[in-house]
Structure 1
């Protein structure tokens, strides 16, 4: 193979422009087209400030996208370039744009460097199995009826108060609603039989059921019926693993919850972090999503972008999952919930790399992300519902992915879904 040029950054990550890949001694990572265009343009303009508008035109030459899409690509590049602190490779120039930091140009023989590829180390059999797994996921989704439609979904909603706990059940039909209520009754009975009383106390609980999974979200409330800090949890459970979830609840076992750290420097506020746990025997314990939102304008429109990571159950290691951006429009024709938001897709990129530690066919996280990607590729709008809100915390429901709590930097999260003249410009 002939020699080629690579760019070596201060983080010791190398960019081979001719192949669109980032290389380290341990791995080789393919960049998507927007990432390649933007990184190459920054390199070509070394020493010069590059405006956001320039990068928007370069990164998406045949599309019109918002700054949220650019922000996500820059953030993804920083992660992939192994920046220990923001600006190690790509420097942010406030109110201007971005600039690449110092690098060196090298000539390399890729025939040697390719031997370092992790795919070579894993072996052909593992690669084939991973490829087959992905094909199974994609083909399995292809026959499913796409769940999004042009109008909000109508739900059946019912509520119970059991002891000091408030339960809300949401489903598409009466049979599923009865199933949810029955599941709660079973858990309560197990607690009473084992401990002599209901051990679940002062909980606000939401349950949702589809044909393929259950979604549960809850928090512990104080005397004012406000969720206590870091007491919010959400789970997605495949039907045949409900007993595993019930055991967690009955015996008050430890639940996964990270500590939200909301970064607002050089970002558009409000921002938020969402945690979701999975019970599906896939090897994926949880998903963490970072969201970045613009203020709502006078037309009821705001933009958001998000980056998701999945966490291995055994090791706790995080893996990039996806990056996406969309336009959100407040739905003004009535809502069963506090607010209904129409999402219009703009950009979706997979960051996920197959792993021998995951059973992809069993993963709700991957299946749900694949459905979302399908909607984005087909430019299919969908709806999300604001179910509950309090300072720095909101609960959202999507008919495909269920409940998710968002820990937000906004003290009045309801303002995210409302226009005010003071929020019409970026902070």
Structure 2
């Protein structure tokens, strides 16, 4: 039987640090990363006062913020912890900082929690269905299904080294970090057991996990320059139930041959950027190529571009058109955990593939979700994670990691050349 620890406060709210959630008998509430860090630190140091400076460093380890940000998190935690009177859980110590009040540690049976979670999901599903039905009748269902993203997402980023491989983990909570680290170690252990040594060497590897998929991108680097070698960059988006299949592919150092697909017209002879991606799901292993055609605008750091995507046909292995889209891109060099944040404003979308309505494979859901958001101009943010000359690694929260092969006129080639976020 597998148990996890939870912290029970006097307000009858429980904190499960491994999941980053607050639980009551009626609800489960996910905390953001700063809230998780600060609450965990207060609990770990419950016997002594914690200064504001310490909490500022803990809550925002990769950037500098003011005390106003700390006050906002403390205020939010008080509400989420159901404090009836200020200080019921988090006590303010004038001119010092904060200290957590008494609490108890408990072990929770995961099997029981899973059962309760299933019931909760059923209830939530019923409520959400009612909301969507009501909003549809009112003519505003689109807002619930595709709300605009108002701010870039704050990620949890960790680095590690296995052998001479440099690895970066990007997630939104600690539980996802732990899952990725365990899976990564298992990959290398399986390879050593199979071949008697580590055959994956001199690789720069990036792992990203969302609630719905895994995304992995890697390249082989030249030790002297630490730059990706040509034609060694690959990226995969993997359904959770197909992780084992990806593991075997990665352990055996399997590669899928990439062909270049370009559209040629009177005005455009070559795309300014090309993306090569692979998907592993119940539909099998499918390759996808996207060609980007970028046009400058009269606004600084704002560009319009169109994209044409192709996928391999399962029967013939030939490429066929999947979708065409147009978007506006704004490069935001500030307020980013990464090299840069890209604000994407959708303009138009058109399916070229005929049987999309019946197919729910991962490769189709990627564009299907995007196509629905286009009708409501739902802004999203992508992130430049790493960059070198003519090659950038991009992270999309719903699309995952992918390498962008850029021509000299692509504006992203002007970004600083960096390796790590």
Q: TM-score scaled by structure 2?
A: 0.60
Partner of 2:157, secondary structure, is: strand
What is the CA distance between 1:310 and its match in structure 2? 1.3
**Counterpart position of 1:345:** 346
What is the CA distance between 1:256 and its match in structure 2? 3.8
**Counterpart position of 1:167:** 167
What is the CA distance between 1:352 and its match in structure 2? 1.1
Give yes or no for the alignment of 1:232 onto 2:233.
Answer: yes
**Counterpart position of 1:41:** none
Structure 1 Cα separation of the partners of residues 171 and 198 of structure 2: 25
How many residue pairs get aligned? The number is 276
**Counterpart position of 1:211:** 211
Distance 1:250 1:232, change over 3 A: same
Structure 2 Cα separation of the partners of residues 161 and 264 of structure 1: 46
**Counterpart position of 1:200:** 200
Uncovered stretches (5+) of structure 1, i.e. residues with no partner: 1-138, 419-427
Within 5 Å, give how 1:19-418 maps onto structure 2. 146=146, 149-223=149-223, 224-259=225-260, 266-267=267-268, 271-283=272-284, 285-295=286-296, 297-354=298-355, 360-361=359-360, 363-410=361-408, 414-415=412-413
Structure 1 Cα separation of the partners of residues 154 and 193 of structure 2: 37
What is the CA distance between 1:329 and its match in structure 2? 1.3
Contact (CA 8 Å) 1:282, 1:360: kept in 2 or not?
Answer: no
Distance 1:329 1:413, change over 3 A: closer
Kindly provide the CA deviation profile for residues 305-334 of structure 1, in whole angstroms up to 9, marking residues without a partner as x: 101111124421222111111111122541
What is the CA distance between 1:413 and its match in structure 2? 5.9
Deviates more, 1:312-321 or 1:220-229: 312-321
Contact (CA 8 Å) 2:263, 2:270: kept in 1 or not?
Answer: no
Distance 1:411 1:390, change over 3 A: farther
* Two-structure CA RMSD over aligned residues (Å): 2.9
Distance 1:213 1:320, change over 3 A: same
What is the CA distance between 1:404 and its match in structure 2? 1.2
Distance 1:166 1:147, change over 3 A: farther
Structure 1 Cα separation of the partners of residues 194 and 147 of structure 2: 40
Contact (CA 8 Å) 2:306, 2:327: kept in 1 or not?
Answer: yes
What is the CA distance between 1:406 and its match in structure 2? 1.2
Contact (CA 8 Å) 1:241, 1:279: kept in 2 or not?
Answer: yes
Partner of 1:253, secondary structure, is: coil
Contact (CA 8 Å) 1:269, 1:294: kept in 2 or not?
Answer: no
Structure 1 Cα separation of the partners of residues 168 and 147 of structure 2: 23
Partner of 1:371, secondary structure, is: helix
Partner of 1:176, secondary structure, is: helix
What is the CA distance between 1:267 and its match in structure 2? 2.6
Q: TM-score scaled by structure 1?
A: 0.59
What is the CA distance between 1:162 and its match in structure 2? 1.0
Structure 2 Cα separation of the partners of residues 143 and 283 of structure 1: 33
Kindly provide the CA deviation profile for residues 85-137 of structure 1, in whole angstroms up to 9, marking residues without a partner as x: xxxxxxxxxxxxxxxxxxxxxxxxxxxxxxxxxxxxxxxxxxxxxxxxxxxxx
Structure 1 Cα separation of the partners of residues 269 and 295 of structure 2: 6
Distance 1:204 1:145, change over 3 A: farther
Contact (CA 8 Å) 2:291, 2:308: kept in 1 or not?
Answer: yes
Partner of 2:222, secondary structure, is: coil
Partner of 2:150, secondary structure, is: coil
Distance 1:194 1:265, change over 3 A: farther
Partner of 2:405, secondary structure, is: strand
What is the CA distance between 1:279 and its match in structure 2? 0.6
Contact (CA 8 Å) 1:311, 1:317: kept in 2 or not?
Answer: yes
Distance 1:417 1:202, change over 3 A: closer
Structure 2 Cα separation of the partners of residues 218 and 375 of structure 1: 29
Structure 2 Cα separation of the partners of residues 191 and 393 of structure 1: 29
Structure 2 Cα separation of the partners of residues 315 and 349 of structure 1: 24
Partner of 1:221, secondary structure, is: strand
Distance 1:143 1:270, change over 3 A: closer
Partner of 1:337, secondary structure, is: coil
Distance 1:173 1:190, change over 3 A: same
Distance 1:414 1:307, change over 3 A: closer
Higher relative contact order (CA 8 A, sep 6+): 1
Contact (CA 8 Å) 2:406, 2:413: kept in 1 or not?
Answer: no
Contact (CA 8 Å) 1:395, 1:405: kept in 2 or not?
Answer: yes
